[in-house]
Every structure is written in C-alpha cells, then in structure tokens.
C-alpha cells in the first residue's frame, strides 16, 4: 500500500491530484485476466454471431463489404460495436466493476449512470485513426465536467497498434472548436486549438484503464501493425447532469463567429433522414459487480 492511500484498490492522493491537473489517470490492472479473457471472448462472439446481438450495433471500417465476410473474418474488419452490455454479462461486469466505481466516486462524487458503451476494435492493418477530439463535443449536456470516459485495453495497446494519445491538461482549456464532417467520426479539433508538442502516448497492458475527462484532447493513430488492439470504452454521467438542445450545446462549442463547432451534426451534405443528433437517453444505474474472477 502506498504511503498516501489507505486502500490500495483506490487511487492515491497524488493520483487524484494528477487526474484533476492532467485530465486523466491510468489505473493498472483495473480488471483481471479472467475478465479480460471473458471480454475478448464476448467481442469475438458478438462479431461472429455466436452471441446474439439483440441491442448490439456493429460499424465496419470504411470500404468494407460486410456481406462478403465469413463469420470468423468479421472481427478483423469491425471499427466498433455499440450498446453491447445487455448482450454480454462479461462486458456488463466490466462496466459495473466495483473497483472502478469506487475510484469514480473518489474522483467525481457518488451517483452516476452508464449512458454509452462502445468496443473499439481498430483491426490490424486497416484500423483507421480517430482524429483529435473532446468527447464532450459529441454529447449535448448541461455540464461536460459531470461526464467521465473510461477506456479499458483488452489487448496490449502500443504506439504501433494505435494506443490512446492525450494532451495533458487540455481539459482545462475548455470546449475547443471542432470541424464537423460528413462522417461524424471524422469530426476533429481545429488544428490551431491543439498543443501537439505536448502529446503523450499512453501504452497500456490488457486490463489497464484510462479514466479521462470529457474535455481532454485525445487521439488514436491507425493500426498499421499486425497486432490487434481491442478496447472497451464507457461513458458515465454524474446524477444531476441534463441532456440539452443543440442551441445549448452551441453555447459550449462555437467558433469565433458563434457558429456551431461541436460534433453532434454532420457537415452538409447529409443523406435524407440520416442527420446525426446525438442525444442518448439510455441510462443504466450503476449496480457494482465484484465477483468476476
């Protein structure tokens, strides 16, 4: 047990301070090898169809024709999964990990819900970049400070296969001007708003977790290696946060002229009926789980 913490499963006082200063903290081995293996098995099962996909949505890498893939090939062509926790008890257990929520209580105070779950697959050789952004640019919320992201590595995440990169302290600069795109996944911070000389790659082992502020600038490079880089990412908001309108979001995310500069709408042209208006009303109350291997 370190000198400045009473309970080694929680963060030390120094780690709490570094989260507030830098906008992120890495928790080593948040989940153990059995849960990592169960999470990987669930992702493979959801990809191949061995596990039923009732709520799970799959998004392939651009240009992939999913109809031509054999079941066992799909996983290495998928960009991400969303809404999988109801289809996989193992991934649900990751999202509700008692240790994770004790740590989030420490950082943010008690009382939160899970509102978004994603698995980010970044397949070998074809996994594309996720450009620099703030997650709060995707969420029309009353207060970005009440949102936290948790990114958990299931494979070793390295510079070669596209680990997370962050700009420490960038959350303190407030909402940045983003450039919307036809593909909302390509929405990115305007280059003059980025302090790229300060970028820090965060290499992680399977089971390690990056806990990060919704205003932290972050990025992942393409996976040009032959190594898989699967991760799950959860977003939680503290009780009291409210979902708001596009106009209210513009008050946080706007450029010098007052034009909207968040990522919740696509840049023209947009396909009819496909306007991206991200307001996710699905919320799961936290019921901590601590008996998984």
Ligand X SMILES: O=C(O)CCC(=O)C(=O)O
- Least separation in angstroms between residue 89's CB and ligand X is 23
Grouping H, G, I as helix, E, B as strand and the rest as coil, residue 143 is: coil
First and final C-alpha spacing in the chain: 22
Grouping H, G, I as helix, E, B as strand and the rest as coil, residue 13 is: helix
**Residues 263 and 180 sit within 8 Å (Cβ to Cβ):** yes
- Least separation in angstroms between residue 130's CB and ligand X is 4
CA distance 228 to 54: 25
Nearest to 221 by CA among 165, 162, 164, 167: 162
- Least separation in angstroms between residue 154's CB and ligand X is 11
DSSP 93: H
- Least separation in angstroms between residue 256's CB and ligand X is 25
- DSSP E strand boundaries for the chain: 24-27, 57-60, 78-82, 112-120, 130-133, 147-153, 164-166, 178-179, 188-189, 200-202, 209-213, 218-220, 231-238, 284-285
Number of H helices and number of E strands within the chain? 5, 14
Binding positions for ligand X, rule: CB under 6 A: 120, 122, 130, 135, 162, 218, 220, 231, 233
- Mode of pairing for the β-strands spanning 164-166 and 130-133: unpaired
Measured from the CB atom, the residue of 231 and 261 that comes closer to ligand X is 231
Measured from the CB atom, the residue of 105 and 160 that comes closer to ligand X is 160
Measured from the CB atom, the residue of 5 and 227 that comes closer to ligand X is 227
- Least separation in angstroms between residue 63's CB and ligand X is 18
**Residues 224 and 157 sit within 8 Å (Cβ to Cβ):** no
- Least separation in angstroms between residue 3's CB and ligand X is 34
Counted residue by residue, the chain has a size of 293
- Least separation in angstroms between residue 9's CB and ligand X is 26
**Residues 24 and 14 sit within 8 Å (Cβ to Cβ):** no
Measured from the CB atom, the residue of 19 and 234 that comes closer to ligand X is 234
Measured from the CB atom, the residue of 71 and 196 that comes closer to ligand X is 196
Measured from the CB atom, the residue of 102 and 128 that comes closer to ligand X is 128
Measured from the CB atom, the residue of 138 and 292 that comes closer to ligand X is 138
């Amino acid at each position: 047990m370190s000198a400045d913490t009473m309970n080694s499963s929680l963060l030390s006082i120094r780690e709490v301070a570094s989260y507030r200063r830098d906008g992120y903290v890495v928790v080593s081995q948040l989940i153990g090898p059995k849960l990592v293996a169960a999470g990987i098995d669930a992702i493979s099962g959801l990809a191949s169809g061995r596990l039923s996909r009732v709520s799970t949505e799959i998004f392939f890498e651009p240009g992939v024709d999913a109809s031509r893939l054999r079941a066992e090939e799909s996983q290495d062509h998928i960009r991400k999964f969303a809404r999988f926790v109801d289809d996989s008890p193992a991934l649900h257990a990751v999202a509700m990990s008692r240790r994770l929520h004790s740590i989030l209580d420490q950082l943010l105070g008690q009382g939160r819900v899970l509102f978004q779950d994603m698995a980010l697959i970044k397949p070998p050789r074809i996994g594309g970049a996720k450009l620099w952004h703030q997650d709060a640019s995707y969420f029309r919320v009353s207060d970005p400070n009440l949102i936290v992201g948790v990114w958990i590595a299931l494979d070793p995440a390295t510079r070669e296969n596209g680990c997370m990169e962050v700009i420490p302290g960038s959350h303190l600069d407030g909402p940045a001007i983003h450039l919307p795109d036809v593909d909302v996944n390509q929405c990115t911070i305007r280059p003059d708003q980025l302090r790229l000389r300060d970028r820090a790659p965060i290499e992680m082992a399977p089971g390690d977790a990056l806990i990060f502020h919704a205003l932290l600038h972050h990025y992942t490079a393409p996976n040009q290696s032959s190594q898989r880089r699967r991760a799950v990412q959860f977003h939680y908001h503290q009780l009291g946060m409210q979902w708001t309108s596009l106009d209210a979001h513009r008050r946080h995310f706007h450029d010098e002229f007052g034009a909207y500069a968040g990522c919740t709408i696509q840049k023209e042209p947009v396909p009819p009926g496909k306007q991206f208006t991200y307001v996710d009303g699905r919320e799961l109350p936290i019921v901590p789980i601590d008996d998984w291997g």
